[in-house]
Amino acid sequence: MSRRLPGHRISESDSNRLRKSREDRVNAMTLNYQIGVFVGEYIISNYLPTLSLDSFMTRRCIDTTKEEEHLYNDLNNKWVDSKSKEDWETQKNYYKSLVEKYLPKELDCHIMALNLSDEVEFKKGISSALWDSDSSHYSCGIDDIIYQKDSYGDTIKLKLNI
């Protein structure tokens, strides 16, 4: 057992229960799902764009203008101070307009050719990775993730979710 802070010790039976729970969860994952998770992580790392005013940014950060950033921050501060639904809606709608203005409506992500036996499980894995990233503006719905086989490689198409 690794070193833990005092007061955070768990019993051996709890440790075994947690280990068994993890093993069961991992054993329930299909290979296609796991490949989907890795492809999703690849998309996040190499393709997924974010705005410069987002709290979580990816490598493909798209700059907004200083004026847009200042207005967004002012609207956000106003909402934080007031906690009113109206201020929240104003800030949210302005943010959505920036997302719509700067991010591509459809994101084409080129990957190596894959030999999948279950496309649905593969898409579930991609969906899970995108959802867990907390930085995706693209739909995580399985029906919105388009998988296409090309002559050279494969392509994943994601739809902007506004």
Residue-wise pLDDT tens digits, 54-97: 888 888 999 999 999 999 999 999 999 998 999 999 999 999 99
> Long-range contact list for 4-12, CB < 8 A, 24+ apart?
none
Inter-helix orientation angle 85-102/66-82, to 10° = 160
Rounded Cα distance, 45 and 83, in Å: 34
Residue 3 in this model has a pLDDT that exceeds 70: no
Residue-wise pLDDT tens digits, 93-149: 999 999 999 999 999 999 999 999 999 999 999 999 999 988 889 999 999 999 999
Residue-wise pLDDT tens digits, 4-35: 566 667 888 888 888 888 888 878 889 999 99
Rounded Cα distance, 18 and 21, in Å: 5
Q: What are the start-end ranges of the H helices in the chain? A: 12-28, 31-46, 66-82, 85-102, 119-133
**pTM (predicted TM-score):** 0.80
Residue-wise pLDDT tens digits, 145-162: 999 998 789 999 999 998
Region at 92 (left for phi over 0; alpha for psi -120 to 50; beta for the rest): alpha
| HSE, side-chain direction, 13 A CA sphere, residue 93 | 6
Are 49 and 139 in contact by the 8 Å Cβ rule? The answer is no
pLDDT at 128: 93
Rounded Cα distance, 58 and 62, in Å: 9
Rounded Cα distance, 78 and 137, in Å: 24
